[in-house]
Amino acid sequence: MEVNKAVIPAAGYGTRFLPASKAIPKEMLPIVDKPTIQYVVEEAVAAGIEEVLLITSKGKESIENHFDFDMELEAVLEEKEKEDLLERVRYVSDLISIHTVRQKEQKGLGHAVACAKTFVGDDPFAVLLGDDVMYSDKPVIGQLIEHAEKTGCPVIGCQEVAREEISKYGSVQHSDRSGRRARVTNLIEKPAPEEAPSTLAVLGRYVLTPDIFPILAETPRGVGGEIQLTDALKTLADKRPLEAYKFKARRYDVGQLQGFLEATVEYALRREDVKADFHEYLQQLLTERGG
């Protein structure tokens, strides 16, 4: 199984970040000095993905513009001999081949993935959700692709979460668990903690095969009145082996304000050009506040 294509859904309203997300797509909100979605695209590139499809919606043109060439900006930077900034701008536009398609109705993640059918064709493909930014030695989607290549099966990325947190995610019922992998027998979207079959949660990374598309076409609306990818994967698991893989990474839920702030602070502390002054500032702040 060779995976060269990735789908990144980016069509949501971003209501948790209003009023900022009224005019700016939440995917364009910066973690330090890079838009959130760039971290996700860079993960795909690092895993060997060659083409990315962004699923967008009305008002999200700035996402596409971010990855496009800006000849005027480049000319200004070149004229002012700002070589470092010019290199960073060109890096983004040269990063990967980007395609876009609009999700005209907000009908859920399952519907968003279904919009990628023409782009995917008959190929296996990766799905990366923009609300999950991953920091790891090996790209998370690369970990899943490697497992998919070994098993020949579609794979969903998972981690353990606290039981009181499982209602935010899809919960995996599994068998034949060994090491970091398990065979999926059932999936429940956002269950009550006491009803969850496990605390192994589905967390924003998938390697799928094109046989998911006819299933998505038949999947009714589920939790929240939306077409849930989790429900389609449950049906897929009844038809063929589906693997859960517990990936290694520090995951940030940047769809939530707390996770976004944690990512901003921790990425700043990893930056060689920022971390010393920023660390000093944080220490000073804690001292002033009696921390």
Q: Which CATH number fits domain 5-255: 3.40.50.300, 3.90.1150.10, 3.30.9.60, 3.90.550.10?
A: 3.90.550.10
pLDDT one digit per residue (tens) for the chain, 291 residues: 789 999 999 888 788 888 988 889 999 999 999 999 999 999 999 999 999 999 998 888 899 899 988 999 999 999 999 999 999 999 999 989 899 998 887 788 999 999 999 999 999 999 999 899 999 999 999 999 999 999 999 999 999 999 999 998 889 998 888 889 999 999 988 899 999 999 999 999 999 999 999 999 999 888 788 898 989 999 999 999 999 999 999 999 999 999 999 999 999 999 999 999 999 999 999 998 875
Q: How far apart are CA 143 and CA 113, in angstroms?
A: 21
Q: What share of the chain is helix, strand, coil (3-state, %, to 5)?
A: 45, 25, 35
* DSSP state at residue 123: S
Q: How far apart are CA 161 and CA 190, in angstroms?
A: 13
**Distances from the Cα of 205 to the Cαs of 125, 157, 201, in angstroms?**
11, 5, 11
- Domain ranges in the chain are 5-255, 257-291
Helix (H) or strand (E) holding 79: helix 71-79
